A and B are shown apart, each in its own frame.
Chain A
């Protein structure tokens, strides 16, 4: 792990009319770590993601990527930096097969004629490198896959494009127990392969299974960053429901600040 965080947000503020969605939020993800972003409904998780993905522009604040200040004006800018978002509704085409979905919009072609073989080989390699073994054939249509397999395809697609930061929005929300386990395993593997992972979740069990650190948002403010090994679910729940902003300087402190009794 290098010293400069992969992604660093400083003093991000965003208002919608009179609603203050984010207030001076600091946030960071390091390469090779899974950073969970938790908070109650309306805490500002989705807004923060959209600021990073380029869907929203923050009113004020700085975004640093690999130490450089960047301006993200749309999903294409984000993709160019190596930031990929896997949205909750996955955005897969049911009528297409796994390979076709993986290369959707970025097909390999010669003079507009599709080159199927390299696309299929690369898809198979990517799935293998992520140890996604439950998908029997990459030529199955996505309609025939289970929820966990679909999530795996969506994640694999995000990883395939030399991405450095993968943002996962509620990846296990619609999954059963076994499939959730599959996906969490995949999330851990992303981190161990050196990617930065930003995991948005409601489910603290999932968060404690996978995350290295946990950032808690409450009412649009950062109310604490926790080292997973050094904290308890109880402490995080307290922060989610009653945490107070503890901002001292530009960089949020780690190790359970603000969660004290």
Chain B
């Protein structure tokens, strides 16, 4: 929805940067310097997204429609939730292969608990809360085995992958599909805001960005934490505004037969979690410790950080995010079926984080990477779908984009190393 850069890399200006002019001239000079030194940030992935949109816009007849844009948001939200969890797991230098089927467990728990005529018959909201708690606990148990027993996370979560797949099979083999009728659950993906509400939300998010810049400037007052110049902040605020209002404008324009569409709640959830988790990663003690453990676990341990505790919490977080993503996917089709999770959910979520620049080796990456990566993968797959291209080609193209993104990132890191950053 937006490419809000709430928190950039906490990096001090280099000498060369300190000598740059201020104002628009400075912005231009800084851009040139950043390209030369490989400090590209999220720019390549945004350029990639624009290219992809342009290509499909010209080749597919029903890609560039408002209705499809709303579809794109509702299809991407689930993957994006999982990818947020993946960011934290990857920051530790671990991997979580169980999230695809944990998403399934989350959806299954919700479906069972809300089912009218069953012994539970819970309200949708309570059912969703319980599902998230259950998956967080499962994630926590998996994390505990990693942290306390020392089994590699790859193996623990591979076992989880098989186990939770088995549980879903056992539960659904006889019944096939559980229909979800609770409207609160289905709202998570498909609730559509009225056009007016959409504008208000766009205004709130647009205002949120300069406020976050201001907060950052206040927190960092009197320090050498890298600051955005006011010019850059204003330019970015305008950018965020265009993205937010543009999104709402397009959504409001959509129509299915005679019903008019609007901004879907799924899009708002994506941005809300982005803001929340970015804050968690960058501004809290917990987030700092996650980066420390991922950078050098032994150093973190000697510094008195409980490495095990951090690992358990991160795997629990990953489980919780998987459950939220699973619920959104279930809401999309108003049911949980044997075919859950859809498509290559696990691999798409990991690919989204990696395309977004999160290192597999720990300690490097940001939450925004998951958002941008999920949007790029979602756009690609949606676009190829509207072209009626076979699933085989969709996988091939996604794979090539993943490879291209990581290759580009590798070059960028090498350039940065050479320029001493």
In the complex where A95-B291, A116-B220, A117-B219 touch, is A109 in contact with B299 (Cβ < 8 A)? no
B222 on the A face (CB < 8 A): yes
Q: Which residues of B contact A105 (CB under 8 A)?
A: 289, 292, 300, 303-305
Within B303-334, the residues touching A (CB, 8 Å) are: 303-305
- Per-residue CB contact flags for chain A residues 139-159 toward chain B (1 = under 8 Å, else 0) read 111001000000000000000
- B225: chain A residues at CB < 8 Å are 116, 120, 139
Residues of chain A with a CB closer than 8 A to B298's CB: 89, 91
**Distance, CA A105 to CA B301, complexed state (A):** 9
- Tell me whether A112 and B291 are in contact (CB under 8 A): no
A93 lies within 8 A of B12 (CB): no
Is B11 in the interface zone, CB < 8 Å from A?
A: yes
Interface centre among A89, A105, A113 (most CB of B within 10 A): A105
The CA-CA distance from A193 to B286 in the complex, in Å, is 35
Query: Is B224 on the interface with A (CB-CB < 8 A)?
Result: yes
Which residues on B sit within 8 Å (CB–CB) of A112?
Answer: 284-286
Q: Give residues of chain A (74-126) contacting chain B, Cβ–Cβ below 8 Å.
A: 75-76, 79, 87, 89-97, 100, 104-107, 109, 112-114, 116-117, 120-121
Residues of B within 8 A of A120 (CB): 222-225
Q: Is the CB of B420 within 8 A of A93?
A: no
How many residues of B are counted as interface, with CB atoms below 8 angstroms from the partner's CB atoms? 35
Chain B, residue nearest A98 (CB): B12
B-side interface mostly: loop
Contacting residues of chain B (344-374) with chain A, CB-CB under 8 angstroms: 363-364
Which residues of B lie under 8 Å from residue A116 when comparing CB positions? 219-220, 223, 225
Residues of B within 8 A of A137 (CB): 12-13, 224
Q: Which of B285, B296, B302 contacts A87 (CB under 8 A)?
A: B302
Counting chain A residues whose Cβ lies within 8 A of the other chain, the interface size class is: 20 to 34
* Chain B nearest Cβ from A220, distance in angstroms: 26
Least distance between B88 CB and chain A CB atoms (Å): 15
Chain A interface main SS type:
loop
**In residues 10-59 of chain B, which contact A (Cβ within 8 Å)?**
10-13, 15
B159 smallest CB distance to A (angstroms): 30
* A109 / chain B contacts, CB cutoff of 8 Å: 284-285
**Taking A93-B292, A95-B294, A106-B303 as contacts, is the C-beta distance between A136 and B15 under 8 angstroms?**
yes
Q: What 5 A-B pairs come out closest when comparing CB atoms? A: A105-B303, A139-B12, A137-B12, A93-B295, A95-B295
Jot down 15 A-B pairs with beta carbons below 8 A, ordered by A: A94-B296, A95-B296, A104-B300, A105-B289, A105-B304, A107-B285, A109-B285, A113-B284, A117-B219, A117-B220, A136-B12, A136-B15, A138-B224, A139-B223, A144-B420
Residues of A within 8 A of B (CB): 75-76, 79, 87, 89-97, 100, 104-107, 109, 112-114, 116-117, 120-121, 136-141, 144
